[in-house]
Amino acid sequence: MQRKLQQEGVTMSLSADLSCLQSSGGAEREAALATLEKQLICPICLEIFNKPVVILPCQHNLCRKCANELYQPSLFQARTTMILNSGRFRCPSCRHEVVLDRHGVYGLQRNLLVENIIDVYKQEVSNTIATSPLPPPPPPAAQVTCSDHEGEKVNIYCVTCQVPTCSLCKVFGAHQTCQVAPLTDIYQQQKDKLSEGITSLAVFSDKVQALIDEVEKNCRTVEENCSTQKQIVCDKFDRMFSILEERHKVMTQRISSEQDEKTTHVQALVRCYGDSVEANSKLVESATSSMEEPDMAAFVQNSRGLITKIVAATTSCPSETLKPGYENLSLYRFNFSKQERALNSIDFIKGCYSALLPVGLPGNPAEGVGLHWLLHLHIMPAGGKPITSAAQLRQRLRLEVLLTPVLPSPPPSPPPSSSAPHWPSFCFSRLNPLHKK
């Protein structure tokens, strides 16, 4: 808000000076012109603003050309630090930091009001010059004369000594034995060479700028592709996490089912044996009480029934027992060492193996394969002999390659070295036993 009010104040001041300029004359007009000129001076080139005039976020104005000159060094620094689309420079008037987007200075808004005021100012200056007396013409340029012969014009060029000189130096002076040429010819030759050099330098600068644009484009592409590849890696690992979670759930459920089945059976046996023990305890109490009967006839009469019950209880005792090893879970043993080794070997495929991977396998074809995600096990070939086919690779490593869909356009890679082939993609490989067909 403060900068906006400041800009409104500057605009009102410019408008007031312009109104005063148009309505005054004589000394007042010249003073108004001087005041207006001070407000239209660029803080970089110290000249009247050259159109287009851009307005910074801090509400100060700059020539677009001057703003670009400020922007280029910061852009070079951003390039060297691999920070794209983030040029920064400070306003020369208030030192406020200006952050530009990917359009650079061409993304800054033009100040059309200031440009219109500049047009009016230049028109007023032209009118003032037209009505004022003409200044005296500038003095003619001083003629270069010979240092050895006073007043003698330099009009020839000594090719041997490569210095301009005069005709008297060739006839009577130090350049009598030297090869000379007309100064006009040498002037034209040097001018043509300089013009060719300027043209060549301009062409070279254009090529360098084109190279910079291409490198920036490639860098942006690398960032975009890396971001996409990171997302693909995250998706693949999320998929593996979900598979592991599902297998964890299934295996623990099977163990829980086995636990419920065995504990239910054991608890049923415990209840059966418990009921038998309780009945036998009551029978023992009855038999013990009858032993204290003093009347022999009553004892004999009661003991016959107790003896029958005791014999029946003894012969009908539950005989079912648990088999040896009933508590063991031998059917649920596992060994994850192989899977752990496979998980620990997860990596991007490197070296010659990536060039030998097949595009697709029966039952699991690759769709739009540009990047292969596999698990890779680094094993040296037997005997140190190079692997020249995918069949040899599968035979020696016993790998089953799994290919998955990827990006339609793989990211650009750096140029390959002369000693090693260039692999356009990289992948994970998963170690699995080879299915025999």
CATH of the domain at 167: 3.30.160.60
Q: Who wins on pLDDT, 75 or 227?
A: 227
Query: Do 346 and 315 have their domain in common?
Result: no
Q: CATH number of the domain at 120, please.
A: 3.30.40.10
The reply to whether 135 falls in a domain is: no
Residues 13 and 120 occupy one common structural domain: yes
The per-residue pLDDT for 127 is 75
pLDDT value at 344 more than 80: yes
- The tokens 């084109």 sit on which residue? 210
Decide which of 299, 321, 343 is a domain's last residue: 321
Q: Which of 251-260, 302-311, 346-355 has the lowest mean pLDDT?
A: 346-355
User: What local confidence, expressed as pLDDT, does residue 166 receive?
Assistant: 87
The pLDDT of residue 194 is 93
Q: Judge contact between 10 and 59, C-beta under 8 A.
A: yes
Supply the range of the domain harboring residue 378. Answer: 333-437
Do 100 and 23 belong to one domain? Answer: yes
Asked if the structure places residue 207 within a domain, the reply is no
Q: Are residues 168 and 91 in the same domain?
A: no
Do the domain assignments include residue 198?
no
Higher pLDDT, 386 or 344: 344
pLDDT digits (tens, 9 = 90+) for 103-145: 778 888 888 888 888 888 888 877 776 665 656 666 665 678 8
Would residue 157 count as lying in a domain? yes
Contact 58, 2 (CB under 8 A): no
Residue pLDDT, tens place only, 43-62: 888 888 888 888 888 888 88
Q: What pLDDT score was predicted for residue 351?
A: 59
Evaluate whether residue 18 is within a structural domain: yes
| 286 and 359 inside one domain | no
Residue 136 lies in a domain: no
Mean pLDDT, residues 387-413 taken together: 43
Last residue of a domain, one of 321, 344, 371: 321
19 or 101: whose pLDDT is higher?
101
The answer as to whether 213 is a domain residue is no
Report the number of distinct structural domains present in the chain: 4
Q: Look at residue 167 and tell me whether its pLDDT is greater than 50.
A: yes
Indicate if the pLDDT at residue 387 is higher than 50. no
My answer on whether 340 and 295 are in the same domain is no
177 and 256, same domain (yes or no): no
Given 321, 344, 374, which residue is the final one in a domain?
321
Domain assignment present for residue 339? The answer is: yes
Average pLDDT over residues 312-334: 78
Instruction: Please indicate, yes or no, whether residues 374 and 315 belong to a single structural domain of this protein.
Output: no
Residues 305 and 416 in one domain: no
Q: Are residues 433 and 350 in the same domain?
A: yes
Same domain, 345 and 396: yes
Q: Note the pLDDT tens digit of each residue in 184-238.
A: 888 899 999 999 999 999 999 999 999 999 999 999 999 999 999 999 999 999 9
The phi and psi torsions of 390 (rounded to 5 degrees) equal -65, -30
Residues above pLDDT 90, as percent of the chain: 18
Note whether 121 and 30 are same-domain residues: yes
Q: What percent of the chain has pLDDT over 70?
A: 67
